[in-house]
Chain A
Amino acid sequence: MPRVVFREERCKGCELCKEFCPKGIIEMSGIINIMGFHPATVIRMEECTGCAICARMCPDLVIEVEREDKAIG
C-alpha cells in the first residue's frame, strides 16, 4: 500500500497539496508546528494511491512518497 510521509515541521501550511490531492485525503492539522503553521496531514492514508501530486505541488519538499510498484515518471 502506498504511503506519503509529511515532514510536518517543514510545512508552511500553504494548502497546495490539499487543493490538488485527487482523493481529497489531505487536511490541515489542528496542531501548530515549530514555524507557527498548521501543517498538512493525511486523514485517510488507506485511500492514498501514491500518485505524488501532493509532493509535486509542495514548494517546501515536505512530502515523500513510498510505493511498492515502479517509480513514477
Chain B
Amino acid sequence: MRKVFARPKSMKDMPMHYCPGCTHGIIHRLIAEAIDELNVFEQTIVVAPVGCSVFCCDYFDCDAYGASHGRAPAVATGVKRVLPDKIVFTYQGDGDLAAIGTSEIVHAAARGEKITVIFVNNAIYAMTGGQMAPTTLLGQVTTTTPKGREKELNGSPIKMSEMLSVLDGSAYIARVSVHNPAGIFKAKKAIKTAFETQISGKGFSMVEVLSTCPTNWGMTPLKALKWLEENMIPYYPLGEFKTPTEVV
C-alpha cells in the first residue's frame, strides 16, 4: 500500500481556521500541490492579504509576508525586484484585490510583474461580516445590501480576469471554480500553468478562483456549491482569458 493522496509537503500539518465547507482549504491545497510538483518549495515566497486568508501564510510552509489590505501585488513587486530568481505569489480575496487593491493589481499586471496572483472570488467580504464586495452579484443579499445589490445604487460586479487580460503585461489569466471535482482538476491545472508562466519569466499570471462562503451566504456548504454553479458561473465564465502563447 502506498499513499496516492496526502497532504502536500508545502503545507503545514495543522488545522485551518476556515469555516466548515469553505473552499479556501481546497485552493490552498491546489497551490501547495503545484509548488510541490514544480519542485520550487524552497524558493517560493507567499504574500498574504487581509481578510479570511490573512493566516494563509501560516498554512503554506514557505517564506512569507503579510501585506496590508489590497497591497499584496506591490509588496510582491518589491520582493520580486530584489529576488528575481525566486517564485513570488500573492493570495488575495475579492475585497482585497478588486476593491481597495485595484490600483496595485492593475499596475502589477500592466508592468508585467513576474509574479503569480491567486485571486479568490467568493462574491462577499467574509472576515468583516458579509458585506457587499466588488464581485457581489446583482440581487445578492449581503449585510450592506439587505435588499440585494442594486445596479442603480452599487453598479455591476467587476470581472477582474477579463479586465486584466487586455493589458499587455499579463501573460496568463484564467478563471476556474472549485465547486466540483472536475472544476478542481481544472483549477489545479490553471494554478500550475500560472506558476510555470512565472518560472519561465513570461510575465504576470493570475488565476481567479470562484469560491464559496457558506457562512456569509447563509447556506450549507453543499447549497453554497450549487449556488456558485448556478449564479456565479453564468456571470463569471470559466476559462483561460490569456495564455503565454498570446504574449508578444
Given A13-B20, A15-B222, do A67 and B25 touch, yes or no (CB 8 Å)? no
For window 195-248 of B, CB contacts with A under 8 Å fall at: 214, 220-222, 225
B-facing residues in A21-73 (Cβ within 8 Å) = 35, 37, 50, 52-53, 55-61, 63-68, 70-72
Does more than half of chain B's interface fall in helix, strand or loop, or is it mixed?
Answer: mixed
User: Which partner residue on chain B sits nearest A70 by CB separation?
Assistant: B4
**Interface bracket on A:** 20 to 34
Whether A59 pairs with B24 at a CB distance below 8 angstroms is yes
A63 to B185 CA separation, bound complex (whole angstroms): 17
Tell me if B11 is interfacial: C-beta within 8 Å of chain A: yes
- Are A56 and B4 in touch, CB under 8 angstroms? no
**Residues in chain A near residue B214, CB distance under 8 A:** 14
| A19 and B20 in contact, given A64-B6, A72-B4 (Cβ under 8 angstroms) | no
CA distance A52 to B225 in the complex (A): 19
With an 8 Å Cβ cutoff, the count of chain B residues facing the other chain is: 29
> Is the pair B20, A67 in contact by a Cβ cutoff of 8 Å?
no
Q: Smallest CB-CB separation from B221: which chain A residue?
A: A14
Cross-chain contact B20 with A37 (CB below 8 angstroms): yes
A13-B20, A60-B16 are known contacts. Are A65 and B25 too (CB-CB below 8 A)?
no
Residue in chain A with minimal CB distance to B214: A14
B4 to chain A, nearest CB (A): 5
A20–B4 alpha-carbon span in the complex (Å): 18
- Residues of chain A within 8 A of B19, CB atoms compared: 12
Q: Which of B1-44 contact A (CB under 8 A)?
A: 1-7, 11, 15-16, 18-26, 29
Whether B21 lies near A12 (C-beta < 8 A) is yes
- Flag whether B128 is at the interface (Cβ < 8 A): no
The answer to whether B110 has its CB under 8 Å from any CB of chain A is no
- CB proximity of A28 to chain B, nearest CB, Å: 12
Q: Which of A3, A56, A63 has the most CB of B within 10 A?
A: A56
A20 to B2, CA, bound (A): 23
Are A59 and B22 in contact, with the CB atoms below 8 A? yes
The residue of chain A having its C-beta at the shortest distance from the C-beta of B24 within the complex is: A59
Interfacial residues, chain B to chain A (CB-CB below 8 A): 1-7, 11, 15-16, 18-26, 29, 180-181, 184-185, 214, 220-222, 225
A residues within 8 Å of B by Cβ?
A: 3, 10, 12-16, 19-20, 35, 37, 50, 52-53, 55-61, 63-68, 70-72
